[in-house]
Structure 1
Amino acid sequence: MRPLIDMRSIQKSFGANIVLNGVDFEVLPGEVHALMGENGAGKSTLIKVLTGIYERDGGTIVVNGREVHYRHPKEAERDGIVVIHQELNVIPTLTVAENIFLGREPKIGRTGVIRYKEMEQQAASYLRRLGMDLDPRELAGRLSVGKQQMIEIARAISTNAKCLIMDEPTAALTEREIQALFSVIRTLKQQGVAVVYISHRMEEIFTICDRISVLRDGQFIGTKRVKETNFDEIVQMMVGRQIGERFPKRRVTIGEERLRVERLTKKGLFENVSFSVRAGEVLGVAGLMGSGRTEIMEAIFGARPFDEGDIYIDGRPVRIRSPRQAVEHGIAMITEDRKQKGSFSR
């Protein structure tokens, strides 16, 4: 089978720093191909070279049997290569249909008047093709991150995409949304669309991918069929050495209590929550979606007011009414949606 994308001996340097050194990478039609490597291995740079964001210093790129020299991502998109970034490009104040056809809206002649009914019907057709149950008239901002990602996939398909490049696509998804994404990827495979899947999550790679290519320190290490390899071999290819236990038990001295929460309550969200964490300890907070996990953490961090309860740091009661005060007390929070909630003004 002729490759859809065939990159050979790709070179890219920034000054004296060689970022890609003779990298080979090919993608076949209708396959899900994982691109793996540690942070800094060159994965993002390779994709930017492919899509015309960076100009390559050497090597060849052949797409659909034709050598290409893209100078802009739009040129790559015209050949059916579309990137879905980890930080989604969805406008929350527009509808699902408006996001899918943004910049390509069907219009009445030269008037500039958008044919909304036709646009919504076309959007519904693309969503059905992918097995998605979304209302084209729904505002995108009211949807979960997982459903917003589906909008991006539908947008790509509406441009006749032949290869989707997905960068850490499950980073902000729930388990249910991950399974929905996998279902869509399998549908795309059946339709002959290739997917380049960039992720560090081994379980997902071995569940959804056909082949795995590994980069290390800007060099191409090799490509393996998923059915013919295992976790340990891929990890060894990524780090360049044999790995013993993946999660070795470490001796850690548990110190004094650092944080204690007593009877924390916010009516309608969580009630009478109490726990403590000691220095050197990792506390897991588990529960179904909507059980209040995130809201409890936001309350402790000062990003959400609560009705009752007390917070103690190093045994002393504290009043935390804003994220700034939480930071002053040594508390940090990494939110589930960094784009919307990753920074706080107060």
Structure 2
Amino acid sequence: MTGNRFWRLDRHPEGNADFARFLTLCEEDAVPLAEGEVRIAVEWLSMDAGTRMWMSPRTDGYQPPLPLGAKMVGLVLGRVSESRDSVFPVGTLVRGFGQWAEEAVVVPALAGLEAVDESVSDPRQHFGALGMNAWTAYVGVREVAAVKPGEWLAVSAAAGATGSLACQVGRNLGANVVGIAGGAEKCRWLIEELGVQMAIDYRAEDVEARLATIPGGIHAFFDNVGGPILDAVLPNMAHYGRVAICGMVAGYDSDAPMPGPARFDQILMRRLRVEGFFIPDFLERGAEFLPQLRAWLDAGKLTVRFDETRGIENVLTAYERMLTGKNIGKVVVRL
């Protein structure tokens, strides 16, 4: 194999636009694999907001930043084209953390690499209802936020990949779901397709005022955003409520630390439990979640809307769409 194209991080981005000023599409010839490495012919790339933190020079994130000059890293789905690991023979369909590249080279243990079920009719679901966004939604709603039937669950970035799945997990567990999203189209989709009880357009509505109409307050909040949305939710939480913090996309476009919540006092006043969590915390538990997620998927109780872009040369366009909220559902790039 020759002519592998990949995206290289050359500068730390500023904001969430014009990524072509900071990353370069490069080409290389293949190098021999070292013992234990696997080469993957990438078929799909997953666009995930958390990777924006890896581009930052900040050292206080949940993992060290990528060094400048490195290949950009993200979730990949594809087939093993060459292997020096007997666990992953050539031809195996795999998912794991690789490079934004046509051919990704990984050490399976470091990449969280795993073979995936080829009986799934749409392979994109390994990034969707059966993927890490779904694992995050499942753990965040069921375990961290500990949602119970009849409770009110609010979800921010509710029309995104993880948020839309969190809404459905909450609904499937019997909760009343409030989806907070940007734009009338997203809010219609949340109500008409995902079955949430209330959808709030944060761009056109007073989020705090809408939430204040919920009798008894919100019992659980699945937060992907932080910032002003979190401030709008905290005073509307029920006493002894739970806040599961999954992401802080409101601060990903800046290298400066995000200020603390302006309504921090409500954590004490309402006796709230606040807990942050990330996918790396429970990667080894993926097989535990799959039976329930697959059952919901097969029963039509867990759906994913895919925002698909084609071609590695268009990765940055897809990435910017995801970070700026121009998408609905899961953003993927098909190679």
Could you tell me the TM-score, scaled by structure 1's length? 0.27
